[in-house]
Structure 1
């Protein structure tokens, strides 16, 4: 799940830097940008965040439907769905490989649809896996828990390595994503594709070795 959080950081960097200030995983950011853009703030898009928000919701709904009745934790269906997220990243990489792809609003919106739907699907599956404080797509609640339960807050025991790891990894993913966009837009989607498929395979093998 922490690896998927890192992958989300890459995806959000790709969306913001290569798809006209659109977040593909952080829907809070999209809603804020959409609100300011709708108010007429210069330079802020409306169509892109709206497309991303709608696509994320469709992906999350599909993930919820696919995991209906499934037990919490990692199952064979989890492996398939996380693998599907990786395939969607690969499809986005293929679209990015089209010459001048992001200069075409139509192609850019298609890439946004694919990436945001993948993030919505991933978020829904991660919710079913139910690793505390690792939603894989946002870290606001994780930061809240880390601070509120700290020695300076409530002083409660907490899984601080996991929480801190999620925060650091999504930031590291964003940094890597920015570098990858600078190198090649298609590579910026291909790297999380490989990483996500690796997570699916690893999760499947670990569950087979240590069944819940």
Structure 2
């Protein structure tokens, strides 16, 4: 019984974190956490026939002999070829065959401005070779901070010119709740980590043992009540 009571303290604290984390996440609109309410509407990929360069010319501009994948994407409201060959990726202007990547600071800032629709302003682009704790994507990466809007940051891949992540103070708070909830304090991505499995299994055993003790106690109480009532 004493072991069960001390175990209740340990399990209860973790259950409190699970409930508190879930409650905190439930209070935060997921669209705002993801920054969707500050995203500019995606521009349609408008390309007139005859104005898009052929794929072979785009591959030559990127210096690729062979291609693993190729697709037409929108870059700053203009069509561009996103090409991949082996471990290399390149973005080529589909109208002029100009090589657009690796993206420079001005290009990253332009991408961030095109993606953002809100009251803040895009600051300068910062080159990161090590990922901060709130960003788990590939590096190196450009980070553009949006001044005056919830600590918002936009991350752009230099080799593709594509946005790989959006972060804000709301996202970071949500991430704290999430890590407490799944007990992954490293990067918050592993919901099958041994710590969570062990804690959940221990909590289940504790609950079952508590129910067993409750049933046994109720049986003793009922047994005592029946015998006391049978006395003359």
TM-score by length of 1: 0.24
Q: Relative contact order (C-alpha < 8 Å, sep 6+): which is higher?
A: 1
Higher helix share: 1
Structure that is richer in strand per residue? 2
Of structures 1 and 2, the larger Rg is shown by 2
